[in-house]
């Protein structure tokens, strides 16, 4: 039996209740598919101790923290000092997820924008990558990312990218990365796959966003890190590459952006 190509799930939510009591089996299934690392994302800062504990207890798990835009209205506004302090942990590798979501929570747009700018400042200050959630807010997202980049460079990944070609181009022009989730593997997502195909392959990451958005052949089921390899196989097709070559490229991309991961491992 051949050894599967190594790959990283760059965005998942292992603290969510869908995974209660399952973590050892989940990690074993991931390892069987070559998924040797994962970044679990804290979406509310009050949950940071729980997420941190997962990373401390399991070598393959790293973490990031921020206030999700859909939670901004109900959570205390994150502060720059708070995010910088959290970032001192050796397995804390990214700022967010943060961003803008006008699909469900447009009424909090102003507060979301304020929160986004605070998280950008933290990414700039710490040197850690910003993790962006964007939905139905392309114009404001492109404007704020560009304005803030003009005030000082920072790195960024557009997580679970499923927005417009225009936002993709704006992000790529700033040197940012686009992350493929299970959405990119759905049969009806050819337009999205075309957006990815137009991007440089050295700016692509893969993720599950589990427990959500499982790619085929598990669409409609609970997602988990092992399934990132299914999305990556579609990514390999999009870029006309053999799967092991695409996996190696995506690993290089991940380690370039999330460089703190390799610092910790070394």
pLDDT of residue 265: 81
The CATH number of the structural domain formed by 7-265 is 3.20.20.140
pLDDT digits (tens, 9 = 90+) for 207-237: 999 999 999 999 999 999 999 999 999 999 9
Kindly indicate the confidence band of residue 1, based on its pLDDT and cuts at 50, 70 and 90: low
Kindly indicate the confidence band of residue 78, based on its pLDDT and cuts at 50, 70 and 90: very high
pLDDT digits (tens, 9 = 90+) for 147-188: 999 999 999 999 999 999 999 999 999 999 999 999 999 999
Kindly indicate the confidence band of residue 2, based on its pLDDT and cuts at 50, 70 and 90: confident
* Residue keyed to tokens 């964007």: 134
Kindly indicate the confidence band of residue 199, based on its pLDDT and cuts at 50, 70 and 90: very high
pLDDT digits (tens, 9 = 90+) for 110-147: 999 999 999 999 999 999 999 999 999 999 999 999 99
Distance, in Å, from the CA atom of 132 to the CA atom of 141, rounded to the nearest integer, reads 9
Query: What does the buried/exposed string (b/e) look like for 59-91 if buried means 16 or more CB atoms within 10 Å of the residue's CB?
Result: eebbbbbbbbbbbbeebeebebebbeebbebeb
Q: 232, 250 in Cβ contact below 8 A?
A: yes
Average pLDDT over residues 98-115: 97
The whole-angstrom distance between residue 102's C-alpha and the CA centroid of its chain comes to 19
On average, the pLDDT of the chain sits at 97
Residue 106 clears pLDDT 80, i.e. is over it: yes
Average pLDDT over residues 13-36: 96
Distances (CA, A) of 62 to 55, 119, 133: 5, 19, 19
pLDDT of residue 256: 98
Q: How would DSSP label each residue in 140-179?
A: HHHHHHHHHHHHS---EEETT--S-HHHHHHHHHTT-EEE
Domain ranges (residues) in the chain: 7-265
Average pLDDT over residues 83-112: 98
* Residue keyed to tokens 């991940």: 254
Average pLDDT over residues 65-82: 97
């Amino acid at each position: 039996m051949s050894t599967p190509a190594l790959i990283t799930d760059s965005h998942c939510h292992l603290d969510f209740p869908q995974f209660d009591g399952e973590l050892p089996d989940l990690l074993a299934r991931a390892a069987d598919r070559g998924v040797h690392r994962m970044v679990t994302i804290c979406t509310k800062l009050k949950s940071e101790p729980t997420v941190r504990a997962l990373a401390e207890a399991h070598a393959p798990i790293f973490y990031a923290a921020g206030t999700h835009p859909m939670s901004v209205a109900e959570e205390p506004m994150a502060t720059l000092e708070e995010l910088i302090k959290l970032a001192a942990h050796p397995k804390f590798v990214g700022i967010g997820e943060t961003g803008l979501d006008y699909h469900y929570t447009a009424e909090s747009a102003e507060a979301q924008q304020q929160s986004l700018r605070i998280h950008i400042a933290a990414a700039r200050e710490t040197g850690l990558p910003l993790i962006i959630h964007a939905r139905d807010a392309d114009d404001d997202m492109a404007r704020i990312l560009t304005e803030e980049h003009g005030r000082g460079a920072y790195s960024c990944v557009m997580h679970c990218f499923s927005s417009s070609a225009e936002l993709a181009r704006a992000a790529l022009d700033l040197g940012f990365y686009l992350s493929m989730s299970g959405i990119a593997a759905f049969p009806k997502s050819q337009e999205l796959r075309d957006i990815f195909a137009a991007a440089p392959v050295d700016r692509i990451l893969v993720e599950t966003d589990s427990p959500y958005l499982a790619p085929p052949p598990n669409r409609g089921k609970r997602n988990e890190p092992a399934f990132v390899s299914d999305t990556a196989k579609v990514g390999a097709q999009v870029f006309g590459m053999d799967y092991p070559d695409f996996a190696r490229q995506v690993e290089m991309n991940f380690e370039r952006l999330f460089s703190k991961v390799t610092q910790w491992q070394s």
